[in-house]
Structure 1
């Protein structure tokens, strides 16, 4: 994971919740972690498979992760995989 990936991860774990996280940054983070990314052509939902775990993300209609629930879901997914920023 490079410096940019670390910064994105820190944004995801920031308290209070950060509202300037871009979806393309999140996808770059997943790619940097060698995740398998599948986009459903019909629903637009994205399935991320990483280390035998998966998360289904909603259709990305905005540039930014649009609500705190999505940020919390990402946070929990990374916590489950023990991928957390170093403090």
Structure 2
């Protein structure tokens, strides 16, 4: 079952950047790896892991922009949640 979650994280690190990442499934995968996820009423996701916070705007289409994917990838690298470390 954890492979299902790991594959969602791996999509963030693909080259070229995937344009079809389902936000809900991604957030679920991050929660599986103990990232605290809080969705605000302003349609933003606050992620907290190892006392490091990341805030990401969510689109109404349930997809992430390439810019958001890039920023999220840098955050995950910073907190050590990369596919090779999961």
TM over 0.5: yes
Q: Which runs of 5+ in 1 are unaligned?
A: none
For normalisation by structure 2, the TM-score amounts to: 0.86
Q: Determine the structure 1 residue equivalent to 2:80.
A: 82
Q: Which runs of 5+ in 2 are unaligned?
A: none
Shift of 1:74: 1.1
Distance 2:17 2:24 in 1: 18
List structure 1 runs of 4+ shifted beyond 2 angstroms: none
By percentage of residues, which structure has more helix?
A: 2
Q: Determine the structure 2 residue equivalent to 1:53.
A: 52
Q: Say if 2:13 is the partner of 1:29.
A: no
For normalisation by structure 1, the TM-score amounts to: 0.85
Provide the alpha-carbon RMSD of the alignment.
1.5
